[in-house]
Amino acid sequence: MSEIVRLPKPANTKHHRHLLSVLVVGIAILGGSCSSPKEAADAQSQQANRPTAVDVSISRTEALVSAPTYTGSTEPIRTVSLRSQVEGQLLGLNVDVGDFVKQGQIVAQLDDEILRTQLNEAEAELAALRSEVARSNSQVSNARAQVESARLELAQAQADSQRQQSLLKEGAIALQVAQQAQTEARTAAQTLRAAQEQVSTEQQAVAAAQGRVVAQQAVVAQERKRRSYTRLVAPIAGLVLQRLQEPGDLIQPGNEVIQIADFSRIQVRVEVSDKELGNITIGQAVSVKLDAFPQETLNGQVTRIYPAADATARLIPIEVVIPNSNGRIGSGLLARVSFVNSNQQSVVVAQSALGGQESRGAGEQGEQEQSKTGTVFVVTEAEGKAKVVARPVTLGDRADGKVEVLSGLKVGERYVSRSSKPLKNGETVNISIISRKAAPKGQ
């Protein structure tokens, strides 16, 4: 007879399931630990063969210590007020604020009816005076003809007198006849002198008439000039800054009609203390930044140093001029001016480029030396690979995370500004994408 064997029933089913779960997790961990050493070795090998990632910068010249900044406002290089020189009603104004005008362009017209009438009267008077000169010249000609006639009569009377004297000596005529011939000769001489004096008188009259003609010509020219003032002409090329009159207004001499500003160059006036004046010279380069264009730095020049300082603040005005060929810069913009001293320019690199490899010398004396030595890794590229060359450099002052390089590095050379790990001479490196994008073409 067969016997049935019964297995014992588990006491706790939940406990059994928990043990099973722990067993499965343990098996998984053991399986993972069996493959980990090989994968870790492969990862370490790949990491060791990968080029060191570096950031690259370009050495430039700049002032290590930032120059103080002075604020001022932009102004056009010159502003001209176009004023009327005569009285008249404004008939037309051809320009508006912001319009560009050329030098010599007619921008406004005044009523010239009264001035035109005065000019016509002056021209008529000039014509009358010229007629008077013509009459005087005719009288001079007549007087000269009388002189010639009197000279002929005198010659004839003198010849008759000599002949009568000869006849008197021969006894052919009476004494009374000879004396009468002498009297006629004297009369003819007086007539000649009178005719000559008349010529002189008529010539003086001609000169006086010609003087009146010259004076009247000046009057005519003046009237023409006054009439020309009714056409208001732009004295310079530039933009209309203000329009102060409107058509129909009665303009008096001296009234301002428009303002024209020359924006081809911009001037900025700043004030500096007398202590800083010694570092500023005429023609010195300046750096100008405008809040309107914060991403741009403009190059300017010192054009004027005023001789007198403000009596209260002891500040000296300095005039700086910057180009404005594109005409973007207007008037009244806030400008920040920094004076650039060429003697302060030097090769500067980021302090992170030294990588903690500076050598200050031994002892406290080395700590106090301002000039130090260090190593900068210069980047070279050949056959598509970038390598670094250790370059010993002499260092100077430092400020704001930058170091002055006194020798060992030239302007424009590329150097490693930051690396993911310490570098070795001749090591191949991987230039970061940001550095490649920032590098100019041809680098």
CA distance 116 to 104: 22
**Residue 312: what pLDDT?**
87
> Do the domains at 69-75+263-342 and 78-112+235-251 have one common CATH topology?
no
- Range in 15-19, 103-107, 142-146 the model is least confident about: 15-19
**Residue 133: what pLDDT?**
87
Closest by alpha carbon to 70, among 306, 276, 307? Answer: 276
pLDDT at residue 436 greater than cutoff 90: no
Encode pLDDT of 19-50 as tens digits: 444 444 444 444 444 445 555 555 555 555 67
Thinking of the domain 69-75+263-342, which architecture would CATH place it in? Beta Barrel (2.40)
| Of residues 97 and 383, more confidently modeled | 97
pLDDT at residue 185 greater than cutoff 90: no
Query: What percentage of the chain carries pLDDT values higher than 90?
Result: 38
Mean pLDDT of 402-406: 85
Thinking of the domain 78-112+235-251, which architecture would CATH place it in? Beta Barrel (2.40)
**Residue 176: what pLDDT?**
82
**Residue 102: what pLDDT?**
95
Mean pLDDT of 165-183: 80
Mean pLDDT of 183-205: 85
- Ramachandran angles phi, psi of 331, nearest 5°: -95, 145
Thinking of the domain 54-64+345-438, which architecture would CATH place it in? Beta Barrel (2.40)
pLDDT at residue 221 greater than cutoff 90: yes
How many other CB atoms sit within 10 Å of the CB of residue 230? 24
CA distance 347 to 372: 15
pLDDT at residue 365 greater than cutoff 90: no
Mean pLDDT of 127-133: 90
Cβ burial 256-269 (10 Å sphere, 16+ → b, else e)? ebbbbbbbebbbbb
Decide: 394 and 404 in contact? Cβ < 8 Å.
Answer: no
- Range in 3-12, 76-85, 121-130, 327-336 the model is least confident about: 3-12
- Ramachandran angles phi, psi of 258, nearest 5°: -140, 165
Query: What percentage of the chain carries pLDDT values higher than 70?
Result: 81
State how beta strands 256-273 and 231-233 pair: unpaired
State how beta strands 334-339 and 285-290 pair: antiparallel
Encode pLDDT of 320-356 as tens digits: 999 998 889 999 999 999 987 655 567 888 888 886 5
Mean pLDDT of 82-92: 94
CA distances 327 to 74, 288, 356, Å, are 13, 16, 49
Decide: 442 and 381 in contact? Cβ < 8 Å.
Answer: no
pLDDT at residue 238 greater than cutoff 60: yes
Mean pLDDT of 304-331: 91
CA distance 135 to 196: 19
pLDDT at residue 441 greater than cutoff 50: no
pLDDT at residue 319 greater than cutoff 90: yes
Decide: 105 and 364 in contact? Cβ < 8 Å.
Answer: no
- Ramachandran angles phi, psi of 405, nearest 5°: -100, 115
CA distances 21 to 25, 31, 33, 205, Å, are 6, 16, 19, 144
Encode pLDDT of 63-74 as tens digits: 666 668 899 999
Mean pLDDT of 220-245: 94
pLDDT at residue 15 greater than cutoff 70: no
**Residue 396: what pLDDT?**
82
**Which burial class, exposed, middle or buried, applies to 115 when counting CB atoms under 10 A from its CB (0-12, 13-18, 19+)?**
buried
**Residue 152: what pLDDT?**
87
**Residue 214: what pLDDT?**
93
Q: Would you kindly state where each structural domain of the chain is located, as residue ranges?
A: 54-64+345-438, 69-75+263-342, 78-112+235-251, 114-228
pLDDT at residue 223 greater than cutoff 60: yes
